[in-house]
Chains A and B, each alone.
Chain A
Amino acid sequence: MHRGKGMTFVGDSRIPKRGKFIPPKDYSEYPGKTEAFLPNFLLKEWMVGAVFLIGFLVLTVSEASPLEAEADPTKAGYIPLPDWYFLFLYQLLKYPYAAGDYKVIGIVILPGLAMIALLIAPWLDRGPERRAARRPIATGLMLLSLISIIYLTWESSVSHDWAKSEEQGKIVKKVDIDKSSEGYKIYSSQSCVNCHGENLEGKVGPALVGKNIPAQLVEKVAVNGIPPKMPPNAFKGSDKDLKTLAKFIEKVSKK
């Protein structure tokens, strides 16, 4: 037995004796221009990969990856949204026949069937024919799933309130609030504090800091409300107190 350069294993070599190195089978059965993987093909692949990588790096530099405010479990009003590739599954659960009493259909049966069908596709589609056009059932089912996924993703993205969730997720800078001031006392003794938070950082209601809210607007909203969430006549007190509150909020909401 002789392999490599003058290779000899002595004594109890456990390397099994085998025939000469068998070169991988060539593709001469497919007439045409085959080429060696290394270096011919890999070199071209490498060049395409380099271009791909540069494009990708340009994306990472030009578009910073998003980061919302730190997680705060008390802000239960937040509209949750999964990453885009789970949107279709999420949207499926919004339809009445796949939610509520029927949620087993949306959670287990439909996705489970799709996953299993994908796994055992070679046994569902057993014919020797490989061209997509000549196995219409397999191709049709796959196209149907594709269209459903695209449709559900689309539906999910148009029904989501992007502006509101951006607002809810925004990183709010901590603002020093003078809690002994007249304005803050009024703020915290009224119902404002329950929804807009102790530091005006927002809770069920939106944050007030960093918004540049003029005093007149505060006076109007505190009396008239903003349907549907902010009730009218939220402020109960004298006009003088309302003015003080409005001025206070104008001041702390400055950017």
Chain B
Amino acid sequence: MLTKLYDWVDERLDITPMWRDLADHEVPEHVNPAYHFSAFVYCFGGLTFFTIVIQILSGMFLTMYYVPDINNAWDSVFYLQNKVAYGQIVRGMHHWGASLTIVMVFLHTLRVFFTGAYKKPRELNWIVGVLLFFIILGLGFTGYLLPWDMKALFATKVGLQIAASVPFIGNWIEVLLQGSDIVGAQTLARFFAIHVFFLPAALLGLLAAHFIMIRKQGISGPL
């Protein structure tokens, strides 16, 4: 039955090469911790992706309760945290997962740097990776405001003041992010939009580029 279904699709779309390409590429010995335990450093990239998947899934569940406006934002988070069954786990996965993602992406960057894997021909993938790092930091900054508690508000105020004191374009950045004269309703709406739509879209696009380039070039050889 399944074979017939597969054949039916394959006859029309020729899908075999696509998934064989994914499945058949070989994992070289020097990155396989099963053979050399120290090769666990090569797992940091995969773990970063895993934590990003956790962030996306838990974030999707958070939006089922979260209300992005200043009257209800805090109350909705409080309700999710204290009243909803397993709400603490959903929020906990997103909150702690954010820190975990930063840690993993940092370790992955250091691994690539210290093994010199960013050298020719992988310069472009390094650039995409650094951009991914910046986007993840941006996700951290915008996500910090969303619970709309004391530390969120005041940390964001300071962050925007710092951004505003950049010469020439500072005020422009501040208006763009803040949306009004104060950190308030507009700011929360903008940070929500940036955190949930703009940055994740950029993140997914760059991740696709990151992975396509890895498949094209393979993992860098042993040192």
Contact = CB atoms under 8 A, between A and B. Distances in A.
A61 interface: yes
B117 interface: yes
B144 A83 contact: yes
Contact of B222 (A30, A49, A64, A67): A30
Interface string A127-167: 01111100100110010001000000000000000000100
Given A61-B92, A107-B165, A32 B28 contact: yes
B218 interface: yes
Chain B interface size range:
35 or more
Contacts of A90: 158
Contact of B35 (A4, A33, A128, A139): A33
Nearest to A40: B27
B17 A21 contact: yes
A103 B165 contact: yes
Interface in A56-108: 56-57, 59-61, 63-73, 75, 78-86, 90, 93, 103-104, 107-108
Nearest to A146: B110
Nearest to A143: B114
Interface stretch (A116-124, A173-181, A191-199, A224-232): A116-124
B78 A139 contact: no
User: Which one of B15, B151, B153 has the highest number of Cβ atoms from chain A below 10 Å of its Cβ?
Assistant: B151
Interface of B: 7, 10-11, 13-17, 20-30, 32, 34-35, 43, 46-47, 50, 54, 70, 74-75, 77-78, 81, 88-89, 91-100, 102, 110, 113-120, 122-123, 126-127, 130-131, 133-134, 137, 140-141, 144, 147-155, 157-159, 162, 165-167, 182-184, 215, 218, 220-223
Contact of B26 (A27, A85, A86, A121): A27
Contact of B11 (A5, A61, A146): A5
Contact of A60 (B77, B89, B122): B89
A130 B148 contact: no
Q: Determine chain B's interface SS by DSSP, over half rule.
A: helix
A113 B165 CA distance: 17
Contacts of B157: 80
Given A56-B93, A82-B155, A41 B119 contact: no
A30 B50 contact: no
Contacts of A125: 116, 119
Contact of A4 (B14, B22, B215): B14
Contacts of A40: 27
Interface residues of A, number: 82
B210 to A, nearest CB: 15
7 contacts: A41-B32, A49-B47, A85-B102, A119-B127, A122-B118, A130-B115, A139-B114
A10 interface: no
A166 B102 CA distance: 24
Contacts of A83: 98-99, 140-141, 144, 155
Nearest to A112: B166
B41 to A, nearest CB: 12
Interface of A: 3-7, 21, 23-27, 29-30, 32-41, 44-45, 48-49, 52-53, 56-57, 59-61, 63-73, 75, 78-86, 90, 93, 103-104, 107-108, 115, 118-119, 121-123, 125-126, 128-132, 135, 138-139, 142, 146, 165, 168-169
B26 A169 contact: no
A107 B99 contact: no
A248 to B, nearest CB: 27
Contacts of A57: 89, 93
The 3 closest A-B pairs by CB, nearest first: A60-B92, A130-B116, A32-B29
Contacts of B100: 56
Contacts of A41: 27, 32
Contacts of A56: 54, 93, 96-97, 100
B150 A78 contact: yes
